[in-house]
A = this chain, B = another copy of it.
Amino acid sequence: MKIRNHKLTVSYDGTLFKGWQIQANPATVQGHLERVLARCWGERITLHGSGRTDSGVHADAQIAHFKAAAKFKSLSALQAALNHHLPPQIRVTRAQYADDDFHARFSAKGKEYRYRICNHPFQDPFEINRSWHIPRPLNITEMKKAARLFVGEHDFASFTSNPGYARATTVRRVTHVSVSVNGPLITVSVRGAGFLYRMVRNIVGALVTVGLGRLTASETRQILNAKCRGVAPNTAPAHGLYLHKVFYKTAAQRTPSKQSQKLS
């Protein structure tokens, strides 16, 4: 039977899960998906995600792939079967066949994260675990000014938390940072070629500190230049963060040599 490469788009409310990556504790998103794949195929199937998300972090469109013989009569039948067995907090929003050399992690050329902040004296009951509640008013103009500092190729050592593993470099290219306002809801969007551990949450932590008037844009630049986590403001909480989109190379851009280029 022909082995097909399956590409899944997955949305999840991360509140109840211990993040994406499979652990001894099965309450992870990858753990649930692999459990359901094993149930459908009758054998263990390894799922590869575009990257980890931390405990409590959400996804609008996480991407994952797995290789297996075509088992269902259609992709929509596969999608329906997976959703039937998954907890409702995890939904496969799209199932596709991908080229054999497509890899959810190594074929990615970038990602967009969104961070939601509820800026209102009292937290909206419908925003619990969905956004970071900041009761004091935020200065959006200053936040936008500071946001622009992060765009470009920088050493983000001041904006990564202890990763627990060695990495070659803390230089990353950020292509877009925006701060948009819709009533009490403030959304920070960050796009980049790759991200360090907790980089988006650390950037948002700094932007909110700027918005509260406790840090200036020029001090933010000094923190970036210091390349030292110890001088930077606190990390924003996990429950405001959403993996919004993963961008992929075209088939022509995917070559074996590129696969060694790591994305975290």
Contact = CB atoms under 8 A, between A and B. Distances in A.
Interface string A1-34: 0000000000111000000000000000000000
A219 interface: no
A11 B122 CA distance: 11
A217 interface: no
A124 B83 CA distance: 11
A145 to B, nearest CB: 31
A184 to B, nearest CB: 11
Contact of A91 (B79, B92, B123): B123
A88 B125 contact: yes
A231 interface: no
Nearest to A125: B13
A36 to B, nearest CB: 14
A165 interface: no
Interface residues on A, range: 10 to 19
Contact of A11 (B11, B13, B125, B130): B125
Contacts of A11: 124-126
Contacts of A130: 126
Interface string A119-147: 00011111010100000000000000000
A210 B123 CA distance: 37
A122 B86 CA distance: 12
A51 to B, nearest CB: 19
A93 interface: yes
Nearest to A14: B125
Q: Determine which residue in A88, A122, A123, A130 has the highest number of CB atoms from chain B within 10 A of its CB, and name it.
A: A122
